[in-house]
Structure 1
Amino acid sequence: MGSIFSAIGRGINAVISAIASVIMAIVGAITTVIVTIFDVIADILCCRCFGSRRSGGRMSRRRGRGVGY
């Protein structure tokens, strides 16, 4: 009789673990999407705020290419 209850308990444990794994996967995917959105917004804001630094880097690259020709 004890083995029957043990098997039922293991089955319930397996079902609960599977449901928890699915929920964790969904939460992980949602978190990844939210973090990616914030990263894109931060990149756009940084491009606007620090645009002079990046344009300076482009200037030096153009000068480097011009020397080679």
Structure 2
Amino acid sequence: MGSVFSAIGRGINAIISAIAGVIMTIVSAITTVIVTIFDVIMDILCCRCCGSRRRSFRGRRRGAATY
């Protein structure tokens, strides 16, 4: 009788583990998409900010070199 309950317990454990694995995969995929979108937005914003800083910095160097 104990082996029957043990087999049922192992079956329930396997089902719960499979469901948990699927949920973890879904959460991981959603997290990856959110992080990727955030990285793309930050890259766009940083390119705009750094691009204007670089241009003004180069302009100052040229201006300083001519004096």
Shift of 1:28: 0.1
Shift of 1:24: 0.0
TM-score scaled by length of structure 1? 0.75
- RMSD, aligned CA: 1.4
1:2-54 Cα deviation digits (max 9, x unpaired) = 00000000000000000000000000000000000000000000010000438
Aligned length: 55
Structure 1 residue ranges, 4+ long, deviating more than 2 angstroms after superposition = none
> Which consecutive residues of structure 2, in runs of 5 or more, have no partner in the other structure?
59-67
| Paired-residue identity, % | 85
TM-score scaled by length of structure 2? 0.77
> Which consecutive residues of structure 1, in runs of 5 or more, have no partner in the other structure?
57-69
